[in-house]
Amino acid sequence: MKINRIKIIVLAGLIAFIGIITMQVLWLKLAFDEEEKKFSQNIQVSLLEVANEMNRYYGYTTPHTNPVDKLSRDYYVVNMRNDFEAKTLELLLINKFKAKAISTNFEYAIYDCETDDMLYGSYIQFDKTADAQPGTYFPKAKNLVYYFAVRFPDKNSFIYASLKGWIILCAAMVVTLLIYLYAIYIILQQQKYASLQRDFINNMTHEFKTPLASILIASNFLSKNEAVGNDAKLKQYSNIIIEQGRKLDSHLEKILNVAKDDVNPLQLNKETVNVADTIHKAIDIINLKYPSANIRVVNSAQQQTIQADAFHFANIIYNFLDNSIKYCDKTPEININLANEGNNLVLKVADNGIGISPKHLKHVFEKFYRAPESKKLAVNGFGLGLYYVKKICELHGWKLKAESETGKGTVITLAFRSDRAGVTGR
């Protein structure tokens, strides 16, 4: 149903796109035709005024009929009936065209009755920056003896320049519609990605979690067997199976949580959580896994409870401690500081690990990102731990910050409002 709805929206958008583009082209053509008509009228009025001025200047009788004739879109002839000078004609043409705001380049020619040919006059440039163009062919007019012709080779460019506002508007409309089509394309791609992701989650849950759970159950049962307990190597192998199985289960859980969050945002189950208790529970678990780690807690907070999802908050603390130990090339030293700063309860986790260079630090909360420093220790992972932490903090409205320097460890700061401030969170 949703796919059909999107297809209808896309089809309607394409029809609207084609319709709007067609309308824009028609409007632009109508505007061009109107400007061309106006241009032609101004030219004919100007040439009529030139003819009348020439007749008055030479003392000729002004004819009763219109001496101006338009032979083509950019070619005009003017019947003078008497001879005249080219310089006088040129001066009048320039003045009259300027008076009508006609600033496009033009060229003119005069008919010579002795040679029965058009004698090229001159090419007049209003735009001095443009290169001069050679004279073009001027067709003769029938049954005329004393006349001149004027051609406008840059007529179309002049009209388009006057329609600059229309053209910019049309171009902006086309760009906007192209952006719309691109957005539709991205939406379809995202829908395809979301569909593949749902399939991935379902397959991952069934194909990996089920056999992994069976392996963990079997390996736990095996480790309790008396024969295995009495054999040091078998016990070691069974412990390796259990440890690696749990590690794989942890990685799969992170992948599934991130994938589910992309498809359907996580729903938080908020309750009152004691921050210090959660920290100590996480330390107890970490000590079982890494007994050599030295973890110290400095607690100066007067109020230690927050409104949070207990499960995800515990995962955040465990993730901080686990990273501090994994990315350390010496005996891990972790200092946890819990203190009140104004209305905020602030948690800081500082370690003596390998640290992260500034250019990589800004990417540590991105999905699947792993700093090159971490790869030197051959630490396994998908780069999802801190991304998961960031998503949970964003859902709670907490502020998360990382500070680090290569070789000098990392400090993670997590600030959230405490119950003491009377704020229970979102």
The residue among 138, 131, 350, 387 whose CA lies nearest residue 258 is 387
Asked whether 154 and 131 are in contact (CB, 8 A), the reply is: no
pLDDT score recorded for residue 15: 83
Tell whether the model's pLDDT for residue 76 goes beyond 90: yes
Estimate the crossing angle of helix 86-99 against helix 2-58, to 10 degrees.
140
pLDDT above 90 as % of the chain: 15
pLDDT, tens only, 229-263: 777 787 787 777 877 777 777 767 766 666 666 55
* Dist. CA 190–CA 3, nearest whole Å: 12
Rounded mean pLDDT, 401-423: 76
* Dist. CA 254–CA 382, nearest whole Å: 9
Q: Would you say the pTM of this structure is higher than 0.85?
A: no
Rounded mean pLDDT, 92-119: 87
- Tokens encoding 234: 């078998």
Asked whether 384 and 368 are in contact (CB, 8 A), the reply is: yes
pLDDT score recorded for residue 422: 37
- Tokens encoding 315: 């995962």
Q: What is the 3-state secondary structure (H, E, C) of 109-139?
A: EEEECCCCEEEEEEEECCCCCCCCCCCCCCC
pLDDT score recorded for residue 425: 37
Rounded mean pLDDT, 80-100: 89
pLDDT bucket at 46, cuts 50 / 70 / 90: very high
Least trusted range by pLDDT, from 129-138, 226-235, 266-275:
129-138
pLDDT score recorded for residue 184: 77
